[in-house]
C-alpha cells in the first residue's frame, strides 16, 4: 500500500531519476535512511520498473517522428511472435501498440529525416506479411513524456 510520501517520491523520481537520496529525503520530509528504504521497497515491489536517461532526439540525430498504422489479416500467435521479433530488432521503432478499431497496430518510429521511413518500412515488409500500412508524420509535439499519474497506484 502506497502512502502520500511514496507517491511524492515516485513523482520526483519520474521528473529526475538522478536526484540524490538526500535531496529526495528533504523534499518528502524523511531521513535519508528512511527515504532510501522506501525507494528500495518501491523497486522491489515493482512500482519502479527501471531508471532511464531520456536523450535529446535532435542531438541524437533522430528529430522526425512517423506513426505507422498497420493492418494485417494474420492474428495467429506465430505471426504475432514474428512481427514482435521483427519490430524489436529495429531501433528506430521506439513504441508499438496493438489496437482496437480499424488498425491492428501503431508503431512510433523516430528517424533522422522522413525519407528514412522507407528503409524501415522495407525492413518490416521483407520479413513479415502485412495487409496495409499507413504512415503519418508528426508535425509538432504538443505533449511528450515518460511519466505516469501516481494517484491511482495502490
Residue-wise pLDDT tens digits, 9-59: 999 999 999 999 999 999 999 999 999 999 999 999 999 999 999 999 999
8 A C-beta contact, residue 20 and residue 26: no
pLDDT at 31: 97
Domains observed in the chain: 4-44 (1.10.10.10), 57-137 (3.30.70.920)
Beta bridge mates, 69: 106, 134
Return d(Cα 154, Cα 152) in angstroms, integer: 6
pLDDT in tens, 89-110: 999 999 999 999 999 999 999 9
CB neighbour list of residue 106: distance below 8 Å, 6 or more residues apart: 67, 68, 69, 70, 96, 97, 99
The conformation of residue 31, written as its DSSP 8-state character, comes to -
Q: What percent of the chain has pLDDT over 70?
A: 100
8 A C-beta contact, residue 87 and residue 72: no
What are phi and psi for residue 135, nearest 5 degrees? -110, 145
What does the block give as the cell for 77? 500467435
What are phi and psi for residue 96, nearest 5 degrees? -150, 135
8 A C-beta contact, residue 153 and residue 9: no
The conformation of residue 84, written as its DSSP 8-state character, comes to H
Instruction: Region of 141 please: left (phi>0), alpha (psi -120 to 50) or beta.
Output: beta
Beta bridge mates, 110: 65
Amino acid at each position: 500500500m502506497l502512502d502520500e510520501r511514496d507517491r511524492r517520491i515516485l513523482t520526483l523520481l519520474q521528473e529526475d531519476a538522478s536526484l540524490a537520496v538526500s535531496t529526495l529525503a528533504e523534499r518528502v520530509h524523511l531521513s535519508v535512511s528512511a527515504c532510501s528504504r522506501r525507494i528500495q521497497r518501491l523497486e522491489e515491489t515493482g512500482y519502479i520498473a527501471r531508471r532511464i536517461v531520456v536523450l535529446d532526439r535532435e542531438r541524437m540525430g533522430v528529430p522526425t517522428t512517423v506513426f505507422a498504422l498497420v493492418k494485417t489479416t494474420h492474428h495467429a500467435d506465430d505471426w504475432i511472435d514474428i512481427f514482435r521479433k521483427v519490430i524489436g530488432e529495429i531501433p528506430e521503432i521506439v513504441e508499438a501498440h496493438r489496437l482496437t478499431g480499424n488498425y491492428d497496430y501503431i508503431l512510433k518510429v523516430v528517424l533522422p529525416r522522413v525519407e528514412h521511413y522507407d528503409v524501415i518500412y522495407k525492413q518490416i515488409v521483407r520479413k513479415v506479411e502485412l495487409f496495409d500500412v499507413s504512415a503519418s508524420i508528426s508535425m509538432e509535439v504538443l505533449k511528450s513524456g515518460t511519466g505516469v499519474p501516481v494517484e491511482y497506484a495502490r
